[in-house]
Amino acid sequence: MRTSTTLATYAVGLVAVFGAALGVGAVIGSPIDMSTTSHSTHESMPGADAATPAGLEVSSGGYTLSDVTAPERSGAAGTLSFRILDSHNQPVVDFDTLHEKKLHLIVVRSDTTEFRHVHPVLAADGTWSIDWTWPSAGTYRVFADFDPTDGTQLTLGRNIDVAGEFTPAPLPPVSTTASVDGYTVTLDGDLTTTGGPITLNVARDGVPVTDLDPYLGAYGHLVALRTGDLAYLHVHPEGEPGDGVTAAGPDISFHAQAPSEGTYRFFLDFQHGGVVRTAEFTVTAGTPAETPVAPENHTGGH
């Protein structure tokens, strides 16, 4: 895809870490280890540092995300397509299923004002494709989350520049509450570098939602991106529909761990009434202070 010279240069980013997805609950893929502190911003070639967080490499583990073909300008309808190539530069055609799909595609504009989690179709020649229209100009990061049958689960990423009139947007302020289509989602828990529980509570018009729809094998999916380089983590909630333990809301619980201190963007996908919605949050991650040890009491008599 050609890069337009009309694009303004800008830098932004995001990223994340924890236990799994695009959306609120269970949307795609399985947990990816993001417990590293690498901050690489380049598309790496085979042999790159294995500690690099997911989504920052174009090649890893003997697999490569090919060039992505898509409409060149915002508003133009077309097809987005790509292949996953093996170590011999041959297209991969055999994939294991991850949360009801063989590949999860997450597309995010670098300032995180646009976010999509979709599922392209695989052709016999190894080409993944989906109908596509860019909503706005800018630089986008395309994440492919997949598990090749003869390999291990990976998330590879590649940037695409989209021509058109571009207006960068500021990072939304830090908040524990998000509103979408009459739903209010409240985030409880701290994102830390040591990891811990994160709970998202879904309410509609002030009433707790207790009948969330199962979506891709879960009640919600959460994707976290680190601002600055868009380091990626697809996390999944604890439990699953039909296990006899996990309630269909209002709480969706995750385990989250940030690869570094900093600012992150959360995207929670959840489905209710047959419609998938995405709640967005800006959060900060820190390192918890060590619990002080009380000094021994030596005041007793002898």
Mean pLDDT by 10 residues, the chain (302 residues): 38 35 32 31 37 88 97 98 98 95 96 95 98 97 96 95 94 97 97 91 97 94 92 80 95 90 95 98 82 48 40
Q: Name the DSSP letter for residue 22.
A: S
pTM for the predicted model, two decimal places:
0.78
Best CA proximity match to 87, nearest among 150, 168, 158, 42: 150
Architecture of the CATH domain 38-162: Sandwich (2.60)
Question: What does the alpha-carbon distance between residue 265 and residue 268 come to, in Å, rounded to a whole number?
Answer: 10
According to CATH, what is the number of the domain 177-286? Answer: 2.60.40.10
Strand pairing of 63-65 and 77-85?
antiparallel
Question: What does the alpha-carbon distance between residue 280 and residue 74 come to, in Å, rounded to a whole number?
Answer: 23
Q: What local confidence, expressed as pLDDT, does residue 97 receive?
A: 95
Question: What does the alpha-carbon distance between residue 17 and residue 35 come to, in Å, rounded to a whole number?
Answer: 7
Q: What local confidence, expressed as pLDDT, does residue 289 receive?
A: 61
Q: What local confidence, expressed as pLDDT, does residue 173 receive?
A: 96
Partners of residue 38 on adjacent β-strands = none
Q: Name the DSSP letter for residue 216.
A: T
Question: What does the alpha-carbon distance between residue 127 and residue 260 come to, in Å, rounded to a whole number?
Answer: 35
Question: What does the alpha-carbon distance between residue 168 and residue 269 come to, in Å, rounded to a whole number?
Answer: 24
Boundaries of every domain in the chain: 38-162, 177-286
CB 25 within 8 A of CB 220: yes
CB 87 within 8 A of CB 46: yes
Torsion, Cα of 237, 242, 245, 246 (10° steps): 30
Torsion-angle region of residue 201: left (phi > 0), alpha (psi -120 to 50) or beta?
beta
Q: What local confidence, expressed as pLDDT, does residue 34 receive?
A: 32
